[in-house]
């Protein structure tokens, strides 16, 4: 029986020049000598082929994020944290991308959600001279990369809209190197920059907007040090709407008299699955990978998380939230999924199962994981202070794994080596500090509807980040940025609003 299929395409040349051709190699050497191929080596080290015909935007972004050494903060497969197309589903369901592709604005949104610094420009809001300058600057640096959204037809190639990173620039010939992520179709190739601009200066019929380019670089600090917002659960859109739109209206309608009544208004109507929306981040590892000590990298990450936790727990707002959660007024519909008395073993058992699932590369699979036992212990952080570790035995069918959870904690008493005595108290992340962090992350205008001027002044003082330590300020601003990006996605405004959220 006959089977139809395609094996690559012949690259139309001109206008393009195959990177591996004699002329392409000559351009490469000359560009290196000109200093505009610096970024190429990072990109080529992480060059990947899109895994689906419509995944060009996802593959381009994953490639650039990995080239910039941005930590996704979650496992890909095995113990490895790594950006893969399958993890870039924050702003658009993967099944939809697989069937219809992805728009320029949604790729920008994904880059923001992934923790990158993004500057995006549509061709009708930029100029070819600006584009050339950005390409030259990024090609001469390892710290910035350009992703271009263009129409293939301009290069006499088959297909329509496409995304790919720009790997370098030849100043003498005014040519850009496109690292085409559809490597099953076309190889990397040089194109005249003027023609690339023409290919970008086209209308994407699906969105009704012009194509363009984006500059991706690292933020000054790692995103989501301890807390993060999640859009994995289907209720994320209603939760984002409630927090940004509904809460200010409710506060304006209610006659709130004190901080406790303000918290009651905010929390009493929380969507039922609110607990899935904001998470604290725990690090997991196989016991055999870690032994009885922490690596310098693990030690550093855990120390930062613990400092953020400590700073949150020292806030006056945290004390108000703690008192509210322990009061009768917190017993309302929106608080059913939250508790100020979460059990560390139960939390750890859940995290151990998640960790085992991720390390097996079975995220969101139908395979059942259960934690048969957990234990609290302390291990040395390379000879310094002890840290809290939850050990769990995770069972799946006939298989079992020993998993460690590194718990960010505030320790109130010294811990002996090897195990923790019963008098040892661990103040680990709970709803108290998670909700405190979320309140801090709400837009400042959230509280403007409070009629009592003295109470309004008190609330603004409690949630103000102005006098907070830099580490906590950055954590709060990251959460606020995530919230505003998710709200932008929910409102379908990612095509109109390309810039980073204004805090």
What tens digit of pLDDT does each residue of 134-175 get? 999 999 999 999 999 999 999 999 999 999 999 999 999 999
166, 189, 218: which is the final residue of a domain? 218
Given the residues 112, 162, 209, 320, the one annotated as active site: 162
Best CA proximity match to 479, nearest among 465, 462, 499, 496: 465
pLDDT band at 427 (very low <50, low <70, confident <90, very high): low
The reply to whether 206 and 346 lie within a common domain is no
Residue 7 belongs to some domain of the structure: no
Given the residues 56, 90, 91, 144, the one annotated as active site: 56
178, 196, 218: which is the final residue of a domain? 218
Residue 2 belongs to some domain of the structure: no
Residue recorded with tokens 């990995």: 66
**Angle (deg, nearest 10), helices 431-441 and 296-313:** 80
Q: Bigger pLDDT: 498 or 106?
A: 106
Share of the chain above pLDDT 70, in %: 74
162 annotated active-site? yes
Residue 381 belongs to some domain of the structure: yes
145 annotated active-site? no
What pLDDT is stored for residue 55 in this prediction?
Answer: 94
189 annotated active-site? no
Q: Bigger pLDDT: 33 or 90?
A: 33
**At residue 33, does pLDDT exceed 50?**
yes
Residue 12 belongs to some domain of the structure: no
Phi, psi of 409 (to 5 degrees): -150, 155
The reply to whether 196 and 279 lie within a common domain is no
The reply to whether 189 and 263 lie within a common domain is no
Per-residue pLDDT tens digits for 178-223 = 999 999 999 999 999 999 999 999 999 888 899 999 999 998 765 5
Q: How many angstroms separate the CA atoms of 254 and 324, rounded?
A: 18
Give whole-number Cα distances, 358 to 80, 285, 351, 392, in Å: 9, 10, 10, 15
Q: Which of 248-262, 333-347, 360-374 has the highest mean pLDDT?
A: 248-262
The reply to whether 180 and 285 lie within a common domain is no
The whole-chain average pLDDT of the chain stands at 81
**At residue 75, does pLDDT exceed 80?**
no
Supply the range of the domain harboring residue 263.
227-327+339-358+368-413+423-491
Given the residues 91, 180, 415, 489, the one annotated as active site: 180
CB 127 within 8 A of CB 135: no
Burial class (CB in 10 A: 0-12, 13-18, 19+), 61: buried
Average pLDDT over residues 4-21: 86
Average pLDDT over residues 404-429: 57
The reply to whether 105 and 251 lie within a common domain is no
Q: Which of 5-14, 160-169, 251-260, 371-380 has the highest mean pLDDT?
A: 160-169
Average pLDDT over residues 22-51: 96
Residue 332 belongs to some domain of the structure: no
Share of the chain above pLDDT 90, in %: 42
The reply to whether 278 and 233 lie within a common domain is yes
Q: Which of 19-33, 372-386, 389-403, 412-426 bottoms out in mean pLDDT, i.e. has the lowest?
A: 412-426
The reply to whether 100 and 242 lie within a common domain is no
Q: How many angstroms separate the CA atoms of 90 and 223, rounded?
A: 15
At 342, list the tokens.
């979460």
Best CA proximity match to 484, nearest among 464, 498, 471, 503: 503
């Amino acid at each position: 029986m006959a089977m139809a299929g395609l094996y690559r395409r012949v690259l139309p040349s001109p206008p393009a020049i195959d990177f591996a051709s004699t002329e392409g190699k000559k351009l490469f050497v000359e560009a290196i000598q000109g200093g505009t191929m610096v970024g190429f080596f990072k990109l080529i080290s992480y060059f990947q082929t899109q895994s689906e015909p419509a995944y060009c935007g996802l593959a381009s972004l994953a490639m650039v994020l990995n080239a910039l050494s941005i930590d996704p903060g979650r496992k890909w497969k095995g113990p490895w944290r790594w950006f893969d197309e399958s993890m870039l589903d924050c702003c658009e369901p993967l099944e939809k991308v697989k069937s219809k592709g992805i728009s320029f604005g949604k790729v920008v949104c994904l880059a923001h959600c992934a923790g990158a610094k993004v500057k995006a420009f549509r061709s009708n809001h930029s100029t070819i001279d600006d584009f050339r300058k950005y390409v030259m600057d990024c090609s001469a640096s390892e710290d910035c990369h350009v992703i271009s959204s263009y129409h293939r037809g301009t290069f006499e190639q088959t297909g329509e809209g496409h995304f790919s990173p720009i790997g370098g620039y030849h100043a003498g010939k005014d040519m850009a190197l496109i690292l085409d992520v559809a490597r099953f179709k076309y190889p990397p190739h040089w194109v005249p920059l003027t023609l690339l601009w023409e290919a970008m200066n086209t209308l994407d019929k699906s969105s009704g907007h012009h194509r363009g380019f984006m500059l991706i670089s690292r933020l000054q600090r790692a995103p989501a040090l301890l807390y993060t917002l999640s859009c994995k659960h289907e209720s994320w859109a209603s939760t984002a709407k409630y927090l940004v739109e509904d809460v200010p209206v409710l506060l304006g309608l209610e006659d709130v008299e004190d901080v406790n009544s303000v918290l009651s208004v905010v929390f009493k109507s929380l969507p039922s699955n609110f607990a899935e929306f904001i998470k604290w981040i725990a690090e997991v590892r196989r016991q055999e990978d870690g032994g009885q000590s922490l690596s310098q990298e693990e030690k550093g990450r855990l120390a930062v998380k613990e400092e953020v936790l400590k700073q949150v727990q020292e806030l006056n707002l945290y004390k108000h939230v703690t008192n509210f959660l322990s009061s009768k007024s917190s017993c309302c519909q929106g608080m059913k999924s939250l508790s100020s008395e979460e059990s560390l073993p139960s939390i750890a058992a859940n995290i151990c199962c998640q960790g085992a699932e991720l390390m097996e590369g079975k995220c969101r699979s139908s395979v059942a994981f259960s934690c048969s036992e957990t234990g609290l212990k302390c291990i040395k952080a390379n000879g310094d202070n002890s840290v809290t570790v939850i050990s769990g035995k995770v069972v799946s069918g006939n298989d079992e794994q020993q998993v460690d959870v590194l718990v960010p904690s505030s320790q109130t008493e010294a811990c002996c080596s090897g195990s923790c005595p019963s008098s040892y108290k661990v103040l680990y992340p709970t709803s108290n500090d998670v909700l405190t962090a979320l309140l801090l992350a709400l837009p400042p205008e959230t509280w403007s509807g409070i009629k009592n001027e003295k109470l309004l002044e008190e609330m603004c003082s409690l949630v103000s980040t102005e006098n907070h330590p830099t580490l906590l300020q950055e954590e709060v601003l990251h959460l606020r940025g995530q919230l505003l990006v998710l709200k932008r996605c929910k409102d379908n405004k990612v095509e109109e609003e390309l810039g980073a959220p204004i805090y």
